[in-house]
């Protein structure tokens, strides 16, 4: 046990006496009724939407007033409650707002809650009964699903690990991160179910992918995790989901990818808004962010080029394993790879880091890939 209560209540005479005394006499303390807290009355700004976290942005309960450095609350007390002496120090790792905050965090959470879906019942699995895919396509699809299951399992673990480390005053961020963990668990479920329904079972785990995923999981700070996960990895995965939808061999697969891309795009949205927030509110961190990006781009380049992923995409895009299929598959997959990199730099540019291209090795890879594609006659 890492933590033991500083009092053994089961053997503490004063505590037990008070418990029995209240039972015996009905005498109550009631000091909590005089809590020194603010009285507010929130209203729905839009009755169609309901009572949102934004509607609760009032006085000491609001998120607007949360200071850059939260020194007043290190316990589990909800923001705005009276904090009496004797609450434990929860030892949050992150108590600096700019380390976690994003513009519109509360809206991302509300959107996440309202757009939840159910893999078991929202996917028309029964339509697969009449589907018979050629062996190579079925196996390639299962390999893609195996790869994505691997990705989504770590995408569940990673944000969830940060939940107890965040100061409780960051309620909205914690709620968003909790919703994200749920989203990623759902994606794991969707991809595992689809892999098994191909009839080929799961295919092979990817060492390169797992090295990349380990980097996400072991980030040293929330910002490093967010840059690597929300902005870089999920940005790439969003493009990958769109590409997978485009290549999907059945309308069931199309629906799966349309639904997962919605969640993924929301996570990318948070990542972008967080990145912008850090650059605007903690400008001295720009160089640190570049260093995070150096690593995140390295692992994302490796993950995106993993054999298990690339080859399944080439087969799905080309429609098989014949020479002409492979030629066509390589053309389409190359266009996707370059588009993925282009969109990454577009996002960074718009977030306020236009200089990234100049120092990024990934951008050099992009230019090299583009030149190679043009030389190979691939129309971009």
User: Contact positions toward another protein, by CB under 8 A?
Assistant: 46, 48-49, 107, 110-111, 114-116, 238, 241-243, 245-246, 248, 250-251, 254, 258-259, 261-262, 264-266, 268-269, 272-273, 335, 339, 343, 346-347, 350
For the bound state, the minimum distance from the C-beta of residue 112 to another protein, rounded and expressed in Å, comes to: 9
Give the nearer residue to another protein in terms of CB position, either 70 or 351. Answer: 351
Distance between CA atoms of residues 69 and 280, nearest Å:
16
**Could you tell me the smallest distance in angstroms from the CB atom of residue 237 to another protein?**
11
Nearest-approach distance from CB 238 to another protein, in angstroms = 6
> How many CB atoms within 10 Å of residue 156?
19
- Measured from the CB atom, the residue of 48 and 71 that comes closer to another protein is 48
Compute the distance between CA of residue 348 and CA of residue 245 in angstroms, rounded to an integer. 25
CA distance 255 to 351: 31
Query: Do 265 and 108 form a contact (C-beta atoms < 8 A)?
Result: no
Q: Measured between alpha carbons, how far is residue 242 from residues 192, 209, 245, 261, 369 in Å?
A: 19, 19, 5, 7, 21
Q: Are 100 and 282 in contact (CB under 8 A)?
A: no
CB of 122 to another protein, least distance (A): 9
**Minimum Å distance from CB 378 to another protein?**
12
Would you say 95 or 312 has its CB closer to another protein?
A: 312
Alpha-carbon distance 268 to 5, whole Å?
40
Q: Which is nearer to another protein, 183 or 308 (CB)?
A: 183
CB of 345 to another protein, least distance (A): 10
- CB nearer to another protein: pick between 66 and 296: 296
Cβ-based nearer residue to another protein, 110 or 169: 110
Q: Report residue 229 CA to chain centroid gap.
A: 6
């Amino acid at each position: 046990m890492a933590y033991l209560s500083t009092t053994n209540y089961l053997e503490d005479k004063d505590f037990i006496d008070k418990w029995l005394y209240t039972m015996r006499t009905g005498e109550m303390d009631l000091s909590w009724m005089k809590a020194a807290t603010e009285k507010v009355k929130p209203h729905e700004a839009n009755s169609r939407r309901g009572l949102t976290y934004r509607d609760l942005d009032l006085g000491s309960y609001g998120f607007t007033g949360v200071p850059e450095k939260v020194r007043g609350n290190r316990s589990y007390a909800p923001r705005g409650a009276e904090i009496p002496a004797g609450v434990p120090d929860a030892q949050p790792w992150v108590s600096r707002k700019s380390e976690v905050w994003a513009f519109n965090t509360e809206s991302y959470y509300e959107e996440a809650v309202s757009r939840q879906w159910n893999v078991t019942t929202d996917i028309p699995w029964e339509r697969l009964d009449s589907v018979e895919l050629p062996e190579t396509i079925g196996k390639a699809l299962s390999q893609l699903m195996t790869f994505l299951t691997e990705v989504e399992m770590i995408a569940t673990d990673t944000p969830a690990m940060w939940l107890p480390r965040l100061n409780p005053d960051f309620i909205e961020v914690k709620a968003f991160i909790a919703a994200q963990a749920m989203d990623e668990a759902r994606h794991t479920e969707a991809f595992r179910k689809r892999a098994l329904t191909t009839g080929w079972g799961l295919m092979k785990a990817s060492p390169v992918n797992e090295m990349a995923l380990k980097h996400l999981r072991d980030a040293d700070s929330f910002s490093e995790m967010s840059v690597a996960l929300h902005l870089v990895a999920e940005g790439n995965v969003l493009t990958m989901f769109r590409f997978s939808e485009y290549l999907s061999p059945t309308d069931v697969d199309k629906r799966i990818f349309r639904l997962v891309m919605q969640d993924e795009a929301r996570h990318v949205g948070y990542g972008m808004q967080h990145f912008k927030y850090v650059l605007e509110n903690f400008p001295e961190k720009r160089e640190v962010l570049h260093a995070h990006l150096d690593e995140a781009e390295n692992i994302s380049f490796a993950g995106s080029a993993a054999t298990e992923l690339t080859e399944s995409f080439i087969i799905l895009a080309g429609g098989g394993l014949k020479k002409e299929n492979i030629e066509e598959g390589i053309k389409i997959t190359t266009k996707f790879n370059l588009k993925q990199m282009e969109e990454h730099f577009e996002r960074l540019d718009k977030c306020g880091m236009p200089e990234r291209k100049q120092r990024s090795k990934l951008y050099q890879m992009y230019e090299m890939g583009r030149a190679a594609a043009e030389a190979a006659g691939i129309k971009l």
